[in-house]
Amino acid sequence: MTLTSAPPTPPRPKRRAGDRIFAGSATGSGILILLVLAGVAIFLIAEAWPAITAQAADLPGGHTLTAYIGPLVFGTLIASVIALLVATPLAVAIALYITYYAPRRLAAGMGYVIDLLAAIPSVVYGFWGIAALAPALVPLYGWLEDNLGFIPFFAGPASATGRTMLTVGLVLAVMILPIISAISREVFSQAPALHREAALALGATRWEMIRMAVLPYGKSGVIGGAMLGLGRALGETMAVAIVLSGSGGITFNLISSSNPSTIAANIALQFPESTGLAVNTLIASGLALFVITMAVNMLARWIVNRRADFSGAN
């Protein structure tokens, strides 16, 4: 640090003890964060190692580790993808409504209300999902089975409790909606005013202005926001643990009562009663979840940050 000497170097100020301590502890905290992130990976690997090296017969269920984690990964992915498919269009529409359609005076309040959705604890979403949403969806599932049963997703038999993969996907969609809409709102409101006004001045309607000046500008922001939402949905635990009745193996049937569980929900449900190698197996599945979410998040951040670098706004 002392070796960096840009040409116009001002005379080096006297370093007091207070300065050194303060700078040192600030830098130390920053480095501590790097260590924590590395520590998460290292300790998870250390505790997962016995399960990775163990014989298949010793693991819970008597399968190999991949056979144990496989259905869980599948369940995690399918629930998150449903959530993403439902939440993204809705979130973009909400963001557009708040930034360009809502009455100016109400817009801030509406944004605050949507943000409240993000503040509600996930265990409460689970309560709501099992008590309000799941029963409300049962008739819909019956209808889907009767009329769209030829599509593998809705093959049935429809669950009588509504605690299905599709319900979980919808609960997750509600949970990630505020994340995606918050980021979309931010990028939409940053769309250059000159472009917007130019479009309007040339006689574009409001939708044409949005399509030509706002959406192209906000596209990568929306994609990044959606991926952040995906990251949240992948790791969501309590709502899934409460709502889903997960028992079966891999299946694309979204409305029946046998569903693959998700990694996070499986850990939450099994962990308190597990001992010995079962704990290591669960931690190994947690490691898989960690790797998946890290990859998704890094990609998302990369996309969002790339937009910041290229946008004309800064």
**Applying CB under 8 A, which of residues 52, 67, 85, 120 lies at the interface with other proteins?**
120
Omega into 157 within 30° of 0, i.e. cis? yes
Binding of other proteins by 28 (CB under 8 A): yes
Give the nearer residue to other proteins in terms of CB position, either 25 or 252: 25
Rounded to whole angstroms, how far apart are CA atoms 303 and 13? Answer: 40
Cα separation, 7 vs 100, whole angstroms? 49
Stretch that binds other proteins, among 60-68, 127-135, 144-152, 160-168 (CB under 8 A): 127-135
Give yes or no for a contact between 243 and 163, defined as CB atoms under 8 angstroms apart.
Answer: yes
Q: Which is nearer to other proteins, 87 or 155 (CB)?
A: 87
Name residues whose C-beta falls within 8 Å of residue 59's C-beta, 6 or more positions apart in sequence: 51, 65, 68, 277, 278, 281
Show the binding pattern over residues 50-79: x = contacts other proteins (CB under 8 A), - = does not.
Answer: ------------------------------
Q: Report the run of H or E that residue 215 belongs to, with start and end.
A: helix 215-235
| Residues sharing a CB contact under 8 Å with residue 232, sequence separation 6 or more, in sequence order | 175, 176, 179
Burial 120-139 (b: 16+ CB within 10 A, else e): eebeebbebbbeebbeebbe
| Residue among 162, 169, 221, 231 that touches other proteins (CB under 8 A) | 231
Q: Does 215 bind other proteins (CB under 8 A)?
A: no
Coil, helix or strand for 64?
coil
By CB under 8 A, the residues from 134 to 163 that bind other proteins are 136, 140
In degrees, rounded to 5, the angle at the alpha carbon of residue 264 between the alpha carbons of residues 263 and 269 is 100
**Cα(34)–Cα(44) distance, integer angstroms:** 16
Interaction of residue 33 with other proteins, rule CB under 8 A: yes
Which residue among 116, 151, 160, 193 contacts other proteins (CB under 8 A)?
Answer: 116
- The answer to whether 222 contacts other proteins (rule: CB under 8 A) is no
Residues 82-111 contacting other proteins, CB under 8 A: 89-90, 93-94, 96-98, 101-102, 110
- Which C-beta is closer to other proteins: that of 22 or that of 252? 22
Q: How far is CA 266 from the centre of its chain?
A: 18
- Binding test (CB under 8 A) with other proteins, winner from 12, 55, 272, 314: 272
| Contact yes or no for 196/214 (Cβ under 8 A) | yes
* 30 contributes a contact to other proteins by CB under 8 A: yes
Question: Structure tokens of 201?
Answer: 């001045």
Site for other proteins, residues 274 to 293, rule: CB under 8 A: 275-276, 279, 282-283, 286, 289-290, 293
Q: Please say which residue, 190 or 251, places its beta carbon nearer to other proteins.
A: 190
Smallest gap from residue 23 Cβ to other proteins (A): 6
For other proteins (CB under 8 A), the number of binding residues is 109
Footprint on residues 182-201 left by other proteins (CB under 8 A)? 192, 194-195, 198-199
